[in-house]
């Protein structure tokens, strides 16, 4: 009441020295300039580049329409890279979601060690990826790596992991799961705490005696929106895989670990074929946008329990 | 699900499972630290003992400090992360305030541009920015490392959301007290948005300390190498198969953020998980 009285007593107290419009634009000006220079113009330039044959160091360039995109279709390197990226995303997404959900349920099921285990699983998220990639390289080393040493003790074979084209993508995906799990875990923990306790009591009254029944009847449906959100977030993060590939395999052996961003990097910054690299960037952007579109679609529809 | 404490014996299976999973998660760290203290012949023997027979940590870590300018890399990481965060806040906080609390024609348009910017991953701008920096002779500089990230549409979005929840009376009162709009932004609004600012800062520093993509593009050689690049150089050129020294280098470069994380665990988790959603 007193607030309302105060604002009424004073004729428009928010009178600005400069006028509201001018002030607002002045305050936003640095952000707008940086936005134009560092975000909007470069993005438009990438789109334009994708339709040229521009190469760094060449004297001129020509508009070549969709030729870059046509070249992709017949470029085995690019097609391998696209396929590898899809496989990588297809492995990391379910792996890190299932792992994170299982661990979140385990952590939530009791009171002991919550903060401790959350910290342990979250550690990879804050660790320098390049350094941890080096640690993984040692861990997975075919001859001196501790993992193969353990497998030998157990009498199992010693795979080549990162140095064989049949296991390299699998090894990178395992590292990817390890990297993303903690992040998803924290999101699931937030989703789990939001479930009202009374629902579990109600389910028990209705005869859901086993933990599994309670999970199926209460946790899983209530966690639906979180799971869908985590799903799209993980896909968007996984499709951006670059660091581990750049450090550990450089796309090898024999292109078996080429992924979209690494191919884009190589074409653009190693071979300086900027036009072609920009076209690959647009494919990457299209995939990310499709995932975001899916996210808004799915979340709009499914967030409410209907 | 039980609110009262479960007896320890009933909690044991759960704790054992978690411990096992935790051990697997920590495997790379455990072996990284172990190898960083072993001499090379012990590493090559590939035994499963964690403790070194001959303690070689001083030699391994010494080698890292002797061969690469560790201090310089860490300093570069600090300058780059600090510079990026400084400009991100400098640009995004006033813009977020204008979008949250001021009425002006074109506001919807500006906010639309922010939302549009959220859709574009930073990799998309890399090629033209590289050409521009190369034309300006700015490759291998702090400018090249910092400038592309000075604008964070995500920060604008985050601050706008947070500022919107601050009471208007707070701002009216400051205006009556004769504060300029600039002073209101930095001395009234920002101090009241501390949780958002800390969360964003942690998110930003972690993202850029760990970034490899952009530094790899614009930096060549040691002078402006960030910690991520430093590990990469050490790995490819200097160390080769010297895993003891390589692991020592990895430990040194990972340590600053991991220590910060262990000290302020809750803030990190909140900062990255709540703000990192758009990352």
Q: Which domains does chain B have, with CATH numbers?
A: 72-278 (1.10.3720.10)
Q: In this structure, what DSSP letter does residue B234 have?
A: I
Query: Who among B171, B182, B228 is closest to A130 (CB)?
Result: B228
Q: Touching check for A117 and chain B: CB below 8 Å?
A: yes
Residue B271 tokens read as 């900062």
Q: Do A21 and B105 touch (CB under 8 A)?
A: yes
pLDDT at B136: 92
pLDDT at A195: 86
Q: Touching check for B232 and chain A: CB below 8 Å?
A: yes
pLDDT tens-place string over residues A25-57: 999 999 999 999 999 999 999 999 999 988 887
Could you tell me which of A97, A190, A191, A109 has the C-alpha nearest to residue B17?
Answer: A109
Query: Who among B128, B206, B247 is closest to A135 (CB)?
Result: B247
A chain contacts of residue B103, beta-carbon cutoff 8 Å: 20, 24
Q: Touching check for A215 and chain B: CB below 8 Å?
A: no
**Span A69-302: which CATH code?**
1.10.3720.10
pLDDT at A16: 61
Q: Do B151 and A35 touch (CB under 8 A)?
A: yes
Task: Let me know if A178 is exposed, middle or buried by CB neighbors in 10 A (0-12, 13-18, 19+).
Answer: buried
Domain residue ranges in chain A: 69-302
What percentage of chain A has pLDDT greater than the value 90?
45
CB B46 within 8 A of CB A138: no
Q: Any idea which residue has 């297809």 for tokens?
A: A90
Query: How far away is chain A from the Cα of B191, in angstroms, using its nearest Cα?
Result: 18
Instruction: Give the chain B residue nearest A6 (alpha carbons).
Output: B169
Ramachandran assignment for A12, one of left (phi > 0), alpha (psi -120 to 50 degrees), beta (any other): left
Q: Do A123 and B25 touch (CB under 8 A)?
A: yes
pLDDT at A173: 96
3-class state of residue A288 by DSSP: helix
Report the distance separating Cα A263 and Cα A82, nearest Å: 9
pLDDT at B5: 65
Report the distance separating Cα B37 and Cα B43, nearest Å: 10
Could you tell me which of A60, A114, A98, A32 has the C-alpha nearest to residue A230?
Answer: A98
Q: Do A45 and B261 touch (CB under 8 A)?
A: no
Q: Touching check for A268 and chain B: CB below 8 Å?
A: yes
Residues 138-197 of A with CB under 8 A from B: 138-139, 141, 143-146, 148-150, 153, 178, 181-183, 186-187, 190, 197
Report the pLDDT averaged over residues A84-105. Answer: 95
Query: How far away is chain B from the Cα of A76, in angstroms, using its nearest Cα?
Result: 23
Q: Do B265 and A25 touch (CB under 8 A)?
A: no
Instruction: State yes or no: pLDDT of A254 exceeds 50.
Output: yes
pLDDT at A302: 55
Confidence category of residue A8, pLDDT binned at 50, 70, 90: very low
Could you tell me which of B164, B151, B195, B22 has the C-alpha nearest to residue B99?
Answer: B164
Query: Who among B119, B128, B279 is closest to A292 (CB)?
Result: B119
Q: What is the mean pLDDT of chain A?
A: 86
pLDDT tens-place string over residues A81-92: 999 999 999 999
Q: Touching check for B51 and chain A: CB below 8 Å?
A: no
Q: Touching check for B271 and chain A: CB below 8 Å?
A: no
Confidence category of residue A15, pLDDT binned at 50, 70, 90: low
pLDDT at A207: 81
3-class state of residue B225 by DSSP: coil
Report the pLDDT averaged over residues A233-251. Answer: 91
Query: Who among B28, B102, B128 is closest to A132 (CB)?
Result: B28
Report the distance separating Cα B85 and Cα B87, nearest Å: 6
A chain contacts of residue B100, beta-carbon cutoff 8 Å: none
Low-confidence ranges of chain B (pLDDT < 70): 1-5, 237-240, 274-279
pLDDT tens-place string over residues B125-184: 999 999 999 989 999 999 999 999 999 999 999 999 889 988 989 888 998 888 888 889
Query: Who among B48, B91, B279 is closest to A153 (CB)?
Result: B48
Instruction: Give the chain A residue nearest B40 (alpha carbons).
Output: A144
3-class state of residue B220 by DSSP: coil
Q: Do A39 and B151 touch (CB under 8 A)?
A: yes
A chain contacts of residue B132, beta-carbon cutoff 8 Å: 42
The values of phi and psi at residue B221, to 5°, are: 90, 180
Residue with the bigger pLDDT between B140 and A225: it is B140
pLDDT tens-place string over residues A182-218: 999 999 998 888 888 888 888 888 887 788 888 888 8
Q: Touching check for B190 and chain A: CB below 8 Å?
A: no
Q: How many CA atoms lie within 13 A of A204 on its CB side?
A: 9
What percentage of chain A has pLDDT greater than the value 70?
92
pLDDT tens-place string over residues A126-183: 999 999 999 999 899 888 888 888 888 888 877 888 888 888 999 999 999 999 999 9
Handedness of CA B202, B205, B206, B208 (dihedral sign): positive
Report the distance separating Cα A275 and Cα A20, nearest Å: 44
């Amino acid at each position: 009441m007193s607030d309302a009285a105060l604002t009424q007593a004073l004729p428009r107290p928010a009178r600005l020295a400069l006028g509201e419009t001018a002030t607002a634009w002045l305050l936003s000006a640095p952000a707008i300039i940086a936005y134009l220079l560092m975000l909007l113009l470069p993005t438009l330039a990438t789109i334009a580049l994708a339709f040229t044959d521009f190469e760094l160091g060449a004297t001129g360039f020509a508009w070549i329409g969709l030729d870059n995109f046509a070249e992709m279709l017949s470029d085995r390197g690019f097609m391998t890279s696209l396929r590898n990226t899809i496989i990588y995303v297809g492995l990391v997404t379910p792996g890190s979601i299932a792992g994170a959900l299982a661990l979140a349920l385990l952590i939530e099921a009791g009171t002991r060690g919550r903060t401790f285990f959350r910290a342990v699983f979250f550690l990879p998220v804050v660790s320098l990826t390049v350094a941890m990639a080096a640690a993984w390289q040692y861990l997975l080393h075919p001859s001196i790596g501790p993992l193969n040493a353990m497998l030998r003790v157990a009498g199992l074979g010693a795979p080549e992991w990162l140095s064989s084209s049949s296991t390299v993508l699998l090894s990178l995906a395992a590292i990817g799961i390890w990297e993303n799990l903690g992040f998803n875990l924290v999101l699931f923990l937030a989703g789990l705490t939001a479930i009202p306790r009374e629902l579990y009591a109600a389910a028990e009254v209705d005869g859901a005696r086993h933990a599994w029944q309670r999970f199926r009847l209460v946790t899983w449906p209530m966690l639906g929106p979180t799971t869908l959100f985590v799903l799209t977030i993980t896909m968007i993060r996984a499709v951006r895989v670059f660091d581990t590939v750049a450090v550990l395999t450089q796309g090898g052996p024999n292109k078996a670990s080429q992924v979209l961003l690494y191919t884009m990097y190589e074409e653009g910054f190693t071979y300086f074929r900027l036009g072609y690299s920009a076209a690959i960037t647009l494919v990457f952007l299209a995939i990310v946008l499709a995932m975001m579109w899916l996210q808004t679609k799915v979340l709009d529809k499914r967030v409410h329990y209907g | 699900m039980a609110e009262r404490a479960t007896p320890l014996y009933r909690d044991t299976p759960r704790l054992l499972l978690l411990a096992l999973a935790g051990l697997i998660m920590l495997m790379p760290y455990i072996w990284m630290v172990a190898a960083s203290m072993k001499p090379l012949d012990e590493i090559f023997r590939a035994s499963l003992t964690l403790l070194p027979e001959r303690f070689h940590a001083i030699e391994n870590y010494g080698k890292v400090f002797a061969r690469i300018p560790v201090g310089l890399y860490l300093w570069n990481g600090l300058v780059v992360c600090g510079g990026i965060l400084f400009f991100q806040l400098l640009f995004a906080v006033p813009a977020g305030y204008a979008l949250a609390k001021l009425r002006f024609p074109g506001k919807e348009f500006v906010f639309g541009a922010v939302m549009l910017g959220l859709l574009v991953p930073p990799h998309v701008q890399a090629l033209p920015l590289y050409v521009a920096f190369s034309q300006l002779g700015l490759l291998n500089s702090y400018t090249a490392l910092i400038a592309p990230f000075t604008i964070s549409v995500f920060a604008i979005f985050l601050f706008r959301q947070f500022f919107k929840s601050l009471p208007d009376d707070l701002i009216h009162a400051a205006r009556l007290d004769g504060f300029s709009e600039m002073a209101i932004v930095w001395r009234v609004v920002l101090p009241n948005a501390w949780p958002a600012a800390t969360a964003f800062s942690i998110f930003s520093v972690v993202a850029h300390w760990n970034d490899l993509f952009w530094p790899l593009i614009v930096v060549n050689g040691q002078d402006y190498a960030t910690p991520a690049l430093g590990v990469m150089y050490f790995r490819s050129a200097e160390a080769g198969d010297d895993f003891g020294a390589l692991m020592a280098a990895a430990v040194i470069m990972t340590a600053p953020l991991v220590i910060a994380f262990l000290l302020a665990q809750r803030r990190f988790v909140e900062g990255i998980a709540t703000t990192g959603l758009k990352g």
